[in-house]
Amino acid sequence: MNTQHGASPPTILVLNSGSSSLKFGLFAHSGDDESLLLEGSAQGIGRGDGSLRIAAPDARVLVHEQHVLESQTDALQKLSAVLAAQHYAQPTAVGHRVVHGGPHLRTHQRLTPEVRRRLQDAVHFAPLHIPPALALIDEAQTIFGNAGHFACFDTAFHATLPPRAARLALPRRYADAGVIRYGFHGLSYESLVAQLGAALPPRAVFAHLGNGSSVCALRDGKSIDTSMGMTPTGGVPMGTRCGDLDPGVLLYLMRVEKLDADALETLLNRHSGLAGYADGESDMQALEQRAAAGDANASLALDAFATAVRKTIGGYAALLGGIDLLVFTGGIGEHSAEIRKRICEGLGFLGLREGDASGKVRAVHTEEEKQIARHCRALLRG
């Protein structure tokens, strides 16, 4: 579906920005949904083991390069060159996944100068994610200057949280300043709702498990509680993020180790979680291999992770009055049967058993890029 084969359909390029990666997809409208034309990812950005892979929907690899990618903008420039070389027309729209928009950006919308300014003002809500996202937006608007650009927020899906879930136990003035529970992985959860459609039961729990992990309780397809909080650092322990901590731990680190805000941020986001348990190792596949070989620290990491997710699911069962469907997604949730099994151990009393025939526990591939393309198409139609 490129210009080598006649007129090109209007396309939407989706950019899914991560902390050290960039996933992307090019979509055209087909029937009543978005059809994937090509997809790919740049991994290991800023590291010596960087790679760029672009493939067609039939898994035919168009580009596979191993080299250093200095930044997401570097990766985007290479992607633009590949699109030109493959004779794809310039996209009609570019959709950007934005992790956090702060208190004033809670709906998917066109990227205007005012929206960009509000994003800049919200940097302190996600200092690891927003600056590279802004740099990517600026570069994309330069490369694809004739396209409409749209911001799709991971927090938007959780705007339905009731006050008891959104408000933190702090004086009201902090809530008024935006210090609330936002929740994340919303685009992933939206995609699961779209995929399940009429098969989504009234009481569901979704667990997006990857390097970043969260759990969400849904009633009638709407988020009513979720494990991450004001930032993507909270909730269950993750690859390198600590998850929830006793606030006294932070006071201890400040008073005894004299850590300032920047040092705390580095510790909590880059050296904690599974990496903290397992002496720096955060890759789930490597941890499973080490645990199978008798590594006690790796076993502890797996046990702590699975237990935290299981406890969260159990709490949501009490909140919902039962669970009709448990869905795992994300790199770990979809691909690690071992982790799913560990999490489901002890949940049999809820009828949740990994691998049984009931269909109450499922692993589903998330389609964040397609979900962003859907939003962009709807916003284009306006």
Rounded Cα gap, residues 338 and 336, in angstroms = 5
Would you say 187 is a known binding-site residue? no
Pairing state between β 51-55 and 33-43 = antiparallel
**Cβ-proximal residues to 319 (8 Å cutoff; 6+ apart), any chain:** 217, 224, 225
Would you say 212 is a known binding-site residue? yes
Quick check: is 49 catalytic?
no
Would you say 5 is a known binding-site residue? no
Would you say 331 is a known binding-site residue? yes
Would you say 211 is a known binding-site residue? yes
Residues 152/96, Cβ–Cβ less than 8 Å: yes
Would you say 16 is a known binding-site residue? yes
Would you say 322 is a known binding-site residue? no
Would you say 333 is a known binding-site residue? yes
Would you say 2 is a known binding-site residue? no
Would you say 334 is a known binding-site residue? yes
Catalytic residue among 49, 58, 138, 154: 154
Would you say 368 is a known binding-site residue? yes
Would you say 209 is a known binding-site residue? yes
Going by the annotation, the residues of the binding site for ATP are 23, 208-212, 331-335
Q: Cite the active site residues.
A: 154
Going by the annotation, the residues of the binding site for Mg(2+) are 16, 368
Going by the annotation, the residues of the binding site for substrate are 97
Going by the annotation, the residues of the binding site are 16, 23, 97, 208-212, 331-335, 368
